[in-house]
Amino acid sequence: YVTVRVVDQSLNPIEGAQVWVYNITDGSVIMNKATGANGVAQATVNYTGDKQLQVNVRKSTPPATRYLPSTTYGVLTSAGFSTTVVLYPDLVASS
């Protein structure tokens, strides 16, 4: 599995955050989906070897709180990949 948990700075789950996970090695998309009520987006992958991943997360839909986008990196191994991304409020867009 590739699992991305998205939370705010108080560690509350963020529903509806868009999560894109790319395989940096070949440019393929591993996951492109929104988080559920629990702040988690998850996809099943066919493991064929370790993959370098780029994880992009954003949530900027009014009228809800808008957040600054976030990018992080990781490695998909035979054990899968799991990370937590903390989003911070975009004080300019939210005002």
Lowest mean pLDDT among 21-25, 26-30, 66-70, 88-92: 88-92
d(CA 57, CA 18): 6
Supply the pLDDT for residue 3.
97
Supply the pLDDT for residue 78.
93
Supply the pLDDT for residue 94.
54
Query: Of 47, 55, 58, 86, nearest to 73 (Cα)?
Result: 55
Q: Is a pLDDT exceeding 60 seen at residue 95?
A: no
What is the β-pairing status of strands 70-76 and 29-34? unpaired
pLDDT band at 1 (very low <50, low <70, confident <90, very high): very high
- Helix or strand holding residue 46 (H, E): none
Question: How high is the mean pLDDT of the chain?
Answer: 93
Global pTM?
0.90
Cβ 16 vs Cβ 35: under 8 Å: yes
Cβ 22 vs Cβ 31: under 8 Å: no
d(CA 21, CA 73): 9
Cβ 48 vs Cβ 78: under 8 Å: no
pLDDT band at 16 (very low <50, low <70, confident <90, very high): very high
d(CA 84, CA 23): 18
